Amino acid sequence: MIRLQNVHKSYRKNGLVTPVLDVPELEIPVAQRVALVGRSGSGKTTLLNLLSGLVKADSGLVQVDDEDLTTMSEAACDRFRARSVGYMFQSFHLLDGFTAVENVELGASFAGRSGPRKEAEQLLVALELGERLHHFPGELSIGQQARVALARALIGSPKLVLADEPTGALDGETANTILDLLLKKSLEQGVTLVVATHDLEVAAAFDRIVRVEDLQ
């Protein structure tokens, strides 16, 4: 279960305070697949980062599986994220000097799991990248890079998978493929899935749509 109450987040720069997100209340049940929608700058990515522990709220409750991320130490947040969260970043964040399977394997090693090579290979094969296991990101198409990023988010069976505009940089056909794979794999693994998107057609494929502006 995800629960947010009276959450406020601002950013400070050069003495100026810019409010970014206010969430009086939000609950997401286990295994629900949720699309966060809203205009650019509405706080979608900030909300994902709060749920992952990458960013801390200024005040309020951010609770994931009975753990309050707002009051956690940085070290505890790192352990929580490694153990429980898979994150598919908007720009994928693949490491250029590592092959596809190594990029996915690193996702598991960050969680403290040993011997994840077989699982990494199985995920990539399931995502139709069996012939690209040992290719570097620069040798892959954008759509193939997206699949590697998806595999890295799913490895280790995290309880919570977050994805920031996972189809934003893709053409229509590739975007549909990645969306289908993301929904299918999250359902198979029984994870809670929260995706930020500006595309209402993408959002329509989810169990629930949350308009970030309506939370505030």
Q: pLDDT digits over 203-213, tens only? A: 999 999 999 99
Q: What would the pLDDT profile of 90-116 be if each residue is shown by its tens digit? A: 889 999 999 999 999 987 776 555 557
Paired residues of 23 in beta bridges = 7
Judged by DSSP in three states, 130 sits in helix
Paired residues of 16 in beta bridges = 13
The total number of residues shown for the chain amounts to 216
pTM: 0.92
pLDDT band at 52 (very low <50, low <70, confident <90, very high): very high
Record the tokens describing residue 192, joined without a space: 């809670």
Q: Which domain holds residue 137?
A: 2-215
Contact 118, 155 (CB under 8 A): no
Higher local confidence (pLDDT), 156 or 87: 87
Record the tokens describing residue 110, joined without a space: 């960050």
12-36 mean pLDDT:
93
Whole-number Å distance between alpha carbons of 20 and 84: 25
Q: What would the pLDDT profile of 30-41 be if each residue is shown by its tens digit? A: 999 999 999 888
Using a pLDDT cut of 70, give the percent of the chain over it.
97
Higher local confidence (pLDDT), 56 or 156: 56
DSSP letter at 79 equals: H
pLDDT value, residue 189 = 87
11-23 mean pLDDT:
89
Q: What is the CATH number of the domain that holds 76?
A: 3.40.50.300
pLDDT value, residue 12 = 86
Mean per-residue pLDDT of the chain = 91
Q: How many domains does the chain divide into?
A: 1
pLDDT value, residue 126 = 87
